[in-house]
Structure 1
């Protein structure tokens, strides 16, 4: 066959896509230049204009809009009639997840790939990213691409054509009668679906009528109507939808309506790109309302008084402003309304902080690259339901960009496991530590069993505030990763993702010490490059990257049982077990309860989570114990100074839990001079003041928080953290810890110091105390 056969196929696919208002996918496989030339033929034959197509490729000099595949995220929030993804260079699952949703109904998604039978065994840039030292490229497997090829060959709506030289369809040398040159035509034979009900305008609405006239589906108008509740303090609205349902646009219409009525609307998302559709829709509505914009910047819109809203709301000056998640959490109390777009991709703590705003909306993707709505519901909804908010839930199902039943959406969901989910509650609700089986889940097992893969990966998605399609490929192919699970009657109830780290040769350790980043070795990297331990990457460890237990059976000890089983299995083969995570009191207590000890607290907050990371270790060999002991000692030596500097605003309960989880062996003797003991005892039992000489008080506070020998109430320990270790002023400490007055707060500190003096004081301290008794 010739180029004409490919053109005819493209025309037929495009005609069916337009008739059904769905998308179709065409795979062109062969040599790269031949396939790219064939892709241009497809776009031209499909009648798609050059300015309606985008090429994701490193190849330059093309007539279409072009981005490199690693910049595929630039297509988020855009719509195209054709997207061509060049899978030869910089291909990754993320590139698919970020780009496939940009194709509009009636459009084509074109995948340009090496010969499908050979593709899994070829090595590319993404494979190199999985080759984590000490493993090499030859250790990376091809399970993800093997599975991807299988989904392409089996899923409806996917055409596959082998491309030879000069754009001919069929491999080089094939004659015009070869029967299998087009492996699949991708045609489903579907007819146009019945029309969906259109949007509606409520009989009485607080938002402008033009806002409802801007909606594209009935779901979108229903969501907008629910978002009207944000006008009332004490309300919270949760909008969940799959990608492409117009949820961000609905949030933008609501934000514009609120700003036009004089409200201060604070918007956040994992990145501004994720909120760009919201701002775009808000600007369009404000233009329709003829609202006067005094400021119109990319991340900020200020609206003067307008006649668009109800008369009683038009006297103020409204605005819509974007802030990154951590900043938004701090600023929420100053806004009238807070809106979190792609809320599932944000940590629970930051979402909870947004409730400081009088009204808040949480808009999130149920399945997709941006985050996991089920994870959002499991991890955050409990807090929301326990709050005093009146919560309104909205689910949007009607696609906007294409019709229901779109086969390309179905293919993407399966290929990238976007709809992976744990087993149903009823199947696991009787699980307990004595009813479960422990198993090492081989990647071949996951590849062979879609049910197992979905349940295991679905739980791992819930364990983290952000999971990407790349994580699926890492799970299946990365040589340093492995999975352990507890199962109950064949269903996964608890799962852990393990990463093998360390064991690096001298040359690699030296490069790491000099600042070179070594992939996949998070704990050794921090201990070596940041904490300046040249031998930290010599011992071999296993880092628990993620651990998750099914929400229906939490708090039954299953996570702890899984950790015990992991240690029993791998403890003799490695020097330590470790973990790193965004520090919260509950997580620190969980890991400490399972024998892990703090060795580091990051001095900066994670930009997305807003939390300081904690590193913890549980040594399993003498080499591991030596590593853990010296880093615990160094942590104890530096933490006092850091708490009064970079960690001055760290949550005192995080400080308490992190210090309590540090190995304090040998630190019972407090290094305080004779003169300092007199000052300290005077502040505890007499007329002295702790502000006179901070050092001895910090030594006492650290000693107690590390070994916990004195029986102090939680508020007393928070007082030690905030006033003594973090050096906050008396007024702010009094207010934060709810003391009736500054004088009472000062007296409370003196009473708190008394048992510390009794526990750690030497003969000088005892004699000094007797003066006051």
Structure 2
């Protein structure tokens, strides 16, 4: 069978079943491009062709480089061609597959498959973080990818080369990919009808393409009432975003103010498109403001806000400008702790893809659903199962889920329910071994646990786990199954010349802690010690709060620390030298700060800007393992303690007071109380007598820092500590503090600050302070 004939049969099968087919053309780049043109000419497909490539050798309706494959999300094509010769980006692979319509063809252009895993490309270069080079990158991800291409149903593999006379292309069909499906029962498409008593307009239901989608729209009718929450869950291509868009338009037509949020406006583009279709254009009284992403119709509107801004908007449902309804698209791509902020009195819908090439977050399914169920919300769940773009069981979707581990799950709960720190074993999980054919289950369970650890996991993370030379995996295993997993990255140990360039502004990939400590915090020697940073750590949800996360961190410290009892050397090349410290960086919350602090990590930095998606400040912490690591920690922590007071009064002025308290508590003590006698008398007079804060804020700030940094010597209430943060450290105006902390009056707030300082003066004060306090007796 020649290439044109094969392509015709593949497309005929795809059209007959409303499925897609995958054609792999492998060989040198120019012959592959020629073969792609031949295949597309023979396919009989329409003119809607997308090409993901840095070259323009194949005609296309739309063309994007692999780095911008995400621009195609939400669009559909008859055929999509992905060129992997320059780089094989796992995210681009998944996104290209997601653009192909039922009856269509995905074409992958690749180097010779036998050679591909051992070739290094542009994506590999992104994995080669200093001090490693591109030759240190392994090929485990592509070795496994090639195996799936050669064995999976619906995948045709064709080797191509230049013809002997250089006049064309010689194609060898190695695998036809034909599934020879049996006949399917074809039923006439029936229009979707609104349910009896529907409140939304009939046009909203007429726009639905499946009964699943109509059920999802009907569920959103509950959002007209307070205390309601709706959860729409679906895999890609089921129409969940369209469903919330139709619901948004219907609510706006009913005069509601609907706020839509998602990781970015692009992610919510389909929802806004369907809302605009439903309400109509200017002739129907609707107006669209492209700059503000706001759709207005009558008294209602649909508007967009980023995730942190949306949380602020619904914080007080009775506040001016608060929306009537909140719709959250791509909810699994947001941190659970941010999703919790949406659970106010505003009716809310969460639409999410638990598995997906944009980023999967099973933390939504496992952790957030429990927290949602614990609220007073009346929750309505809908699962959209029927694909819209193609038939169920589509071979390309099944292949992409397997190849990119989109459906990876942790072990079944019953297998690990009895795990405890005393029953588990510490294991080094070799990436090459995880990628072996007989280890698919172990890879799926390990990667499934890591997906739980982060709100956004992408296919590129799978490649990083398998191929990046600076990354390693450690696990606690119970009866052969991982119950706690840590993804680790080697950092630092950089030569003096590189450190000099970093200090002068050069950024270095994959070395987060050394980079921040050098470039932002001006420590030119920070990148000399070798560190191991914990990228992610996850414990199986069935055995949380059993101490397994702490047990795993202690085992990692024991492996890499100088006092390790286990004398077995780490695997060759990783990290290949002694380790000076463990490090971590994450979005700071009080709970996480307490966890890392309990496990011996101490704060060395709190970022002055918030993450655009999570709205959180990042905390950097270290746990020294050697004298060099201790020296790095001590000078970094000391510098943090010296500067944090002024930082809190400026760029961190709006940081959450509980985050500030936990951050400072997780810092090693060391701030001297360098107050003069006059300053001590000022504070003592405010605490015990008629003194005031306003004439001299500095001693109050120094006293607050002395109390909050490290282990406290005085047991103050959380309310008193929040007041110290807001007023003494962040220098908020009195009236703003009164509102934020719910004081009955400004006078009461001022008195409370004096009361908070009184025990601090008694414990830390000098003779001058005590003498001043004694003047006022019991007054």
Contact 2:157 2:174 in 1 (8 A): yes
Contact 2:354 2:365 in 1 (8 A): no
Contact 1:440 1:485 in 2 (8 A): yes
Match for residue 681 of structure 1? 684
- Does structure 1 residue 553 correspond to structure 2 residue 543? yes
Looking at structure 2, the residues matched to 33 and 513 of structure 1 have their Cα atoms a distance apart, in angstroms, of 44
- Of the three residues 735, 740, 744, the one matched with 1:740 is 744
Looking at structure 2, the residues matched to 299 and 250 of structure 1 have their Cα atoms a distance apart, in angstroms, of 22
What secondary structure sits across from 1:701 in the alignment? helix
Match for residue 333 of structure 2? 345
Match for residue 409 of structure 2? 421
- Does structure 1 residue 321 correspond to structure 2 residue 283? no
- Of the three residues 459, 467, 492, the one matched with 1:469 is 459
Q: Where in structure 2 are the equivalents of 1:445-456 lying within 5 Å?
A: 445-448=433-436, 449-456=439-446
- Does structure 1 residue 526 correspond to structure 2 residue 519? no
Looking at structure 1, the residues matched to 134 and 26 of structure 2 have their Cα atoms a distance apart, in angstroms, of 24
- After superposition, the Cα gap between the structure-2 partners of 1:498 and 1:685, relative to the gap in structure 1 and judged at 3 Å, is same
Contact 2:738 2:745 in 1 (8 A): yes
Contact 2:228 2:379 in 1 (8 A): yes
Looking at structure 2, the residues matched to 685 and 92 of structure 1 have their Cα atoms a distance apart, in angstroms, of 66
- Does structure 1 residue 260 correspond to structure 2 residue 253? yes
For this pair of structures, how many residues does the alignment match? 750
Deviates more, 1:355-364 or 1:719-728: 355-364
Looking at structure 2, the residues matched to 470 and 236 of structure 1 have their Cα atoms a distance apart, in angstroms, of 33
Contact 1:255 1:320 in 2 (8 A): yes
Q: Where in structure 2 are the equivalents of 1:197-596 lying within 5 Å?
A: 199-287=192-280, 291-297=284-290, 300-305=293-298, 317-332=299-314, 333=317, 334-356=322-344, 358-448=346-436, 449-572=439-562, 573-596=578-601
- Of the three residues 110, 116, 122, the one matched with 2:113 is 116
Looking at structure 2, the residues matched to 718 and 381 of structure 1 have their Cα atoms a distance apart, in angstroms, of 30
Once the two structures are TM-superposed, the CA of residue 193 in structure 1 deviates from its matched residue by 3.4
Once the two structures are TM-superposed, the CA of residue 467 in structure 1 deviates from its matched residue by 0.7
- Of the three residues 97, 103, 112, the one matched with 2:94 is 97
Q: Name structure 2 gaps, 5 residues minimum.
A: 563-577
- Does structure 1 residue 758 correspond to structure 2 residue 762? yes
| Root-mean-square deviation over aligned CA pairs | 1.8
Looking at structure 2, the residues matched to 371 and 570 of structure 1 have their Cα atoms a distance apart, in angstroms, of 32
- Does structure 1 residue 162 correspond to structure 2 residue 159? yes
Deviates more, 1:470-479 or 1:745-754: 745-754
Contact 1:260 1:303 in 2 (8 A): no
Contact 1:446 1:453 in 2 (8 A): yes
Match for residue 567 of structure 2? none
Once the two structures are TM-superposed, the CA of residue 429 in structure 1 deviates from its matched residue by 1.1
Q: Where in structure 2 are the equivalents of 1:579-658 lying within 5 Å?
A: 579-658=584-663
Once the two structures are TM-superposed, the CA of residue 371 in structure 1 deviates from its matched residue by 3.1
Looking at structure 2, the residues matched to 172 and 276 of structure 1 have their Cα atoms a distance apart, in angstroms, of 41
Once the two structures are TM-superposed, the CA of residue 273 in structure 1 deviates from its matched residue by 1.3
Looking at structure 1, the residues matched to 230 and 96 of structure 2 have their Cα atoms a distance apart, in angstroms, of 29
Looking at structure 2, the residues matched to 23 and 192 of structure 1 have their Cα atoms a distance apart, in angstroms, of 16
Looking at structure 2, the residues matched to 654 and 251 of structure 1 have their Cα atoms a distance apart, in angstroms, of 34
Looking at structure 2, the residues matched to 379 and 603 of structure 1 have their Cα atoms a distance apart, in angstroms, of 29
Deviates more, 1:325-334 or 1:194-203: 194-203
Residues 353-373 of structure 1 show CA distances to partners (whole Å, capped at 9, x for unaligned) of 222361111100021123335
Looking at structure 1, the residues matched to 753 and 168 of structure 2 have their Cα atoms a distance apart, in angstroms, of 82
- Of the three residues 149, 153, 162, the one matched with 2:150 is 153
Once the two structures are TM-superposed, the CA of residue 194 in structure 1 deviates from its matched residue by 3.4
- After superposition, the Cα gap between the structure-2 partners of 1:440 and 1:61, relative to the gap in structure 1 and judged at 3 Å, is closer
Once the two structures are TM-superposed, the CA of residue 350 in structure 1 deviates from its matched residue by 2.0
- Does structure 1 residue 189 correspond to structure 2 residue 171? no
Match for residue 695 of structure 2? 692
What secondary structure sits across from 1:89 in the alignment? coil
Once the two structures are TM-superposed, the CA of residue 498 in structure 1 deviates from its matched residue by 0.3
Once the two structures are TM-superposed, the CA of residue 323 in structure 1 deviates from its matched residue by 1.3
Contact 2:500 2:524 in 1 (8 A): yes
